[in-house]
Structure 1
């Protein structure tokens, strides 16, 4: 048996290529693979993106059937092929790089060829012949890369954000629980890393909870902006090449297929020209990562030690912290969360550049937007899950140490001002610092106030003065 028995041949204006007979891609996919492979990820790497493209092709086939430009057998075979793609059966034929630089054409053609060849096989014809289902004439009918790619990008991002939002909401609930758990623990509040005022440890965690709930709310809001798609605009927004009934039918079928009410844009030219929604999406991802990194940094400081640091919190011991220092345990989960934020912030810069450099009727830098936005969502979704499960859930407070740091600090002076006055308390506080002794001890020794009276004032100061 010769080598040629295992390959089929396809040709374009550049020349002929050999394609393994068990693969569903075609010559355009090969060109994209050969010319534009620069990263380790293919367009099948993120299932949400793969599925979104197939869903667009599925909806298009049904809309084309409704519009009378596809036969029922062709449409049915294309739908079956799209379902195969969604089920992951064609991943090894989706070979184009996610970061390809053809403005999305190589990606679109890879899907077109795979779906066409799978449909051909369903109809009893060999792959590569394109006798009854052609990648351009049938699978890509009434479409352009310029409307399908950004539509699939929005659908995939919408889907992926659902998982991230769920993780952020779970983290917020976890912080709610910690706020309640630590509600009665006296804690030394700090500003500029200096002793400041008495508070409760639970109040600190309630702030984390409130922030995280807000992050989830903002992600929900920006996610909803992704439901407006450019599908139906074809190359530049005019809809040229698609029959009049196509667009409405495509959205109707797409909403049925996905279970999400996707919408046509009020201005199709705006929808083709601009990707500002991804600036907003990426900005929320950046804000989420930076906000959680701030919390992670707080936890790193509050758990520092165990002897020479603050040691007010004990984080779960995840793993050994040093290859040379025995017994050392590092705050690896908070550190990972902080490092993750660096990557997401970098991704946001790339997205901003790509959005800015769209030209005239389209933006041909969508692949880098896809690559960076998907990366940010995946990093945050996975990172937050581990942060929540392996770190936040197991945080324990050292109540005695929290209390000692507060009572030994001159920060209790603020709580005593209402009774003794600023000038007198300030003098005692400086004495405490200069002598290295507890302010409470100095006050009791000077018979200014008993320790019981001072603690009562501290307890009062650690409760909010504003109403509910």
Structure 2
């Protein structure tokens, strides 16, 4: 402890294990240190995600106001706790949130990290030194009428609710880009393929209509599952009985939470269900997985349709984002679609983890909330960042090679399907076999034989490429 300046550079706190030394400029306490030293396994602390910090601070802030209303803490203590929570919401003191996001204490270490930081900041506001807890205590005041078991999952839901907003916005923007491409490519004839084989005539715009419809649907499903996060277990305390909270606390805490966040969070219909089960997180994660894999399918399509440019299909041109090889000059790879596919692997893995954690809750609570938080936060971040880049750096700049699209169609057996209504199945089959045997296009054979002019054949193809509904 350096006291040469007349001011101690550290303080000491102790618990039943022993004493710990804490830097004077940090607001965490002994419980936070134990959590950090025992349970640090990942690269992120609970202070890493701003939304999670704000969510926890809002939970503690609303609880303090409700406790003041019910007469269990005084106004000066409440005001100091409220100011400390506001400091966290404003981005201050995040370097004192030192517990690992993946800590294995069932969230207790995380909850106590917030309790200690808020209590010590409130102590400072009221003129008392951090660590003494003589005016504001982490458990008796900051954690009053709560437990880890209702505070942590409530903050987790609030954080995920906020994190989903930018992802939903990014999906909407991507859907709009696909809409625009569908209109731009509508009149380009395109060879539709099934099982990677030539199938039927269609329009290139129809391909992008499908992508747009899917992306709009992904957005709508995320909006729907996001609303399931509005039900919180706050007020259930340890196991759902509400023991430890005064009468009227639950109504008061939800009212204050609405005022602080601008979101109308509600209490569960059954508090025991809310404490025992985390199926809502499983549903959210499943939608994130569906979003990732669905967009990966689109990304894979784009890599195929843009393949080449000489030895592949080359029907689409993707923006050239960067050099594709350290040894092959001029090679350009579809790096943005590849990135979307790759991140989908990670999101699928995250979803498996969430499913396992939700399954292994025991009796009255689920104590694997930290890994669920970590994995869902990661999936949302990957998708939000990935979709934004995929949209702006790739999809928005896609162009089509009209000539190549139409030449592939006209040279293929897919033309035969368009001719059946006019010439009959048997006749078209005969012509198709001739086309294969002579290695010439149907369009050429029809024109030479006088059965159909090139213009009539193209008209039949155009008609077949427009949906009949």
Q: Is this a same-fold pair by TM over 0.5?
A: yes
Where do 5+ consecutive residues of structure 1 fail to align?
none
From 180, 185, 188, the equivalent of 1:185 is 188
From 246, 251, 276, the equivalent of 1:248 is 251
From 216, 224, 229, the equivalent of 1:226 is 229
Aligned twin of 1:403: 406
Offset at residue 434 of structure 1 (A): 2.9
Q: Distance in 2 between matches of 1:260 and 1:136?
A: 27
Alignment of 1:444-463 (within 5 A): 444-463=447-466
1:149 aligns to 2:152 (yes or no): yes
Q: Distance in 1 between matches of 2:427 and 2:358?
A: 60
Offset at residue 2 of structure 1 (A): 4.5
- Aligned-residue Cα RMSD (Å) equals 0.9
Aligned twin of 1:285: 288
Aligned twin of 2:316: 313
| Residues matched between the structures, number | 466
Offset at residue 204 of structure 1 (A): 0.5
Offset at residue 86 of structure 1 (A): 1.1
Aligned twin of 2:50: 47
Q: Distance in 2 between matches of 1:433 and 1:81?
A: 79
From 79, 84, 88, the equivalent of 2:82 is 79
SS of aligned partner of 1:5: coil
From 317, 320, 328, the equivalent of 2:331 is 328
1:432 aligns to 2:435 (yes or no): yes
Offset at residue 77 of structure 1 (A): 0.2
Offset at residue 410 of structure 1 (A): 1.2
SS of aligned partner of 1:263: coil
Alignment of 1:16-415 (within 5 A): 16-415=19-418
TM-score (norm 1): 0.99
Cα-to-partner distance string for 1:170-201 (whole Å, 9 max, x where unaligned): 10011000000101111010011011111000
SS of aligned partner of 2:377: helix
SS of aligned partner of 1:29: helix
Offset at residue 259 of structure 1 (A): 0.5
Q: Distance in 2 between matches of 1:234 and 1:432?
A: 76
Cα-to-partner distance string for 1:155-181 (whole Å, 9 max, x where unaligned): 001000111100001100110000001
Cα-to-partner distance string for 1:100-131 (whole Å, 9 max, x where unaligned): 00000000000000000000000011110111
SS of aligned partner of 2:8: helix
Q: Distance in 1 between matches of 2:75 and 2:30?
A: 27
Offset at residue 449 of structure 1 (A): 1.1
TM-score (norm 2): 0.98
Q: Distance in 2 between matches of 1:139 and 1:430?
A: 82
Q: Distance in 2 between matches of 1:413 and 1:137?
A: 80
Where do 5+ consecutive residues of structure 2 fail to align?
none
Q: Distance in 1 between matches of 2:433 and 2:370?
A: 61
Q: Distance in 2 between matches of 1:189 and 1:364?
A: 50
Cα-to-partner distance string for 1:200-224 (whole Å, 9 max, x where unaligned): 0001100000000000000000000
Cα-to-partner distance string for 1:9-53 (whole Å, 9 max, x where unaligned): 000000000000000000000000000000000001111111000
Q: Distance in 2 between matches of 1:24 and 1:45?
A: 16
